[in-house]
Amino acid sequence: MSLEDRTRELAGDVEPADGTAIRAAGERHSKLAKPPGSLGRLEELGVRLAGMAGECSPPVPENPAVVVCAGDHGVLARGVSPWPNEVTAAMVRNFCAGGAAVNALARTVGARISVLDVGVASELERHPMLRTAKVRPGTSDLSQGSAMEREEAARAMLAGAGVAEELISSGGVDLLVTGDMGIGNTTPAACLIATFTGRSAEEVTGCGTGIDDATLKLKVRVIEEALELHAPDPGDPLGALAALGGLEHAALAGVILTGAVYGVPVVLDGIVSDSAALVARALAPACVDYMISGHLSTEPGAGIALENLGLVPLLDLDMRLGEGTGGLLAVPLTQAAARVLGEMATLEEISLA
């Protein structure tokens, strides 16, 4: 079986959320000791969690993990970011040393961290937190040709799937958070969002790490060139991913699909995760049933992607760091939504029915 066939098999294993559990959760919320709808979107999230788990009340996810997928990008040579690709490797080392924002927030919410190198240009030292499945040392310049081969995109996707499966099957993880690291990776993210939503390069492109107006104009032009060069077909998600994506985007799509296969909620972080979610949705439409939008990145493409996915972000904190930081902050809300359904008394139980 080819790697591409294996990705299709993975996508084919995704089943829709359980409609019976969703209806039961909605009915239970109407009977709890509170005015109907008074917990707002927390109630909606609890109902969705029931559908993911296939039971009402859904189990409270007590063992979250963030998977930070890392890779470098050939398009950086076009000047789309002021930061050199060496920063990617330096930040991966910082993750492993415990000194990054993702580490601080993971400690805050009690989440473990796994870092997956699928395409960092530099060689990295071994570390217990680091999983190495390097497909290649960074992508090619997507504005000049394909970022990678189809088989490379499939291999990166399966690498992400493998880490997620290990965490769920062997590590008891019951909530996945997507994270990313890769200097220049908002450019391929914008390319993917434009491809799968039909929006223009200008609409989906933001300032990333904080570029000036001149660099933003260059970035938009590079994305326009790439879209014109490849004319990507959203009906061929692996082809679009190979032409315009990053290795970490592919790995994240694999993480998302695997969470869906196992019925494990997947909390999306920012624009890179959102773009990967569009790829995953194109491969397996039902996987959206298992996605939770952790927060709304300030990158304009993030809101466009989430609207297209039909997801409403839980938080809006003007964040755009990546790493999984915004997704991690949504973990307590996800836990609370499940706990409300399982632990609140009903009106009948407090003799008010």
Query: Which residues are known to be catalytic?
Result: 323
Beta carbons within 8 Å of 213's beta carbon, 6+ residues apart: none
d(CA 114, CA 179): 10
Fill in the amino acid letter for 35.
P
**Residues 198 and 310 sit within 8 Å (Cβ to Cβ):** no
Task: Taking the CA atoms of 101, 102, 104 and 105 in sequence, report the sign of the dihedral they define.
Answer: positive
**Residues 182 and 280 sit within 8 Å (Cβ to Cβ):** no
Q: For residue 333, which of 134, 83, 64, 73 has the smallest C-alpha distance?
A: 64
- Whether omega for the bond prior to residue 114 falls within 30 degrees of 0, making it cis, is no
Q: Which residues pair with 293 in a beta bridge?
A: 268
Beta carbons within 8 Å of 146's beta carbon, 6+ residues apart: 140, 230, 242, 243
Burial class (CB in 10 A: 0-12, 13-18, 19+), 229: middle
Q: String of b and e for 149-172 (b: at least 16 CB within 10 Å)?
A: ebebbbbbbbbbbbbbbebbeeee
DSSP annotation of 346:
B
C-beta atoms surrounding 188 within 10 Å: 30
* Size (the chain), residues: 353
Q: Which two tokens stand for residue 98?
A: 């415990």
Query: Which three-class secondary structure state does DSSP give residue 116?
Result: strand
Q: For residue 346, which of 57, 60, 62 has the smallest C-alpha distance?
A: 57
